[in-house]
Amino acid sequence: MKRLMEKEVVDSEGKVVDKIALRDEFFGVKINMSLLHQTVTSYLANQKSMKIASAKTRAEVKGSGAKPWRQKGTGRARVGDKRNPLWVKGGVVFGPEPRRVYKKIPVKMKAGALGSALSAKCKDGSMVILDSLPCPLNKTKDFADLLKKLKITKKSVFVDTGFSQELRRASSNLKDVSLVRASDLNAYWALNCRNLVITRKGIHVLEERLSKK
């Protein structure tokens, strides 16, 4: 039988209105620091743009392929062509090439890292479960008032099944607030905040996601 842990649910006024049962297999697992580090560093590396540094090899630089002088009898060193890397304007040996740095993480490892991140937030008390986001919420002032009522003063990530354009516009002027859909939440976004605010619907989506992995 799956063990359940209870967590308080608050409304948009910051008042406790209910309790929700969270599955221990997703919100109460042992935190795997090694897995979290590997997943987060891979995610950050994959956000970087393509490396465009490039240098021409001896096959790509301009110049004749003819031998500058005969092999023997001149007193000079032997040279095969003018594009020799030892010469000025010659090719570069093992120079940089444009490439895309991408680190692939298996789906099960991503799910395990997300479970560890959610469990860490539960244990340190920085996870807030919101009954639902108030509607309408289309002004920055209204969103700022919501943060005050929830007693959130530091960097926070709000997780729900989806966000309206008006809601995204209202939060865009608040530099310490990010909106992430429950279907897109990963270990990095869960850890990169002081307060992780998840709606009741968002909890159901996360449990459904993790149960399929």
pTM of the model as a whole: 0.77
Return the number of other C-beta atoms located less than 10 Å from residue 45's C-beta: 11
CATH 3.40.1370.10 segments of the chain: 4-31+106-211
Spell out where the chain has E strands. Answer: 4-10, 16-23, 127-130, 156-160, 177-181, 195-199
DSSP 3-state assignment of 51?
Answer: strand
Return the number of other C-beta atoms located less than 10 Å from residue 24's C-beta: 14
pLDDT at 1: 43
DSSP 139: S
Domain 4-31+106-211 sits in CATH 3.40.640.10: no
Q: Is residue 31 predicted with pLDDT exceeding 70?
A: yes
Q: Sheet harboring 177-181: ordered strands across? A: 16-23, 4-10, 127-130, 195-199, 156-160, 177-181
Q: Is residue 120 predicted with pLDDT exceeding 90?
A: yes
Tokens of 9: 């649910």
Q: What Rg do the C-alpha atoms of the chain give, in angstroms?
A: 28
**Closest by alpha carbon to 203, among 160, 155, 169, 150?**
160
Over residues 52-111, the pLDDT tens digits come to 899 999 999 998 888 999 999 999 999 999 899 999 989 999 999 888 778 889 999 999
The band of 3, judged by pLDDT with boundaries at 50, 70 and 90, is low
Tokens of 95: 């120079």
Return the number of other C-beta atoms located less than 10 Å from residue 75's C-beta: 6
Over residues 160-213, the pLDDT tens digits come to 999 988 889 889 888 899 999 999 999 999 999 999 999 999 999 999 999 876
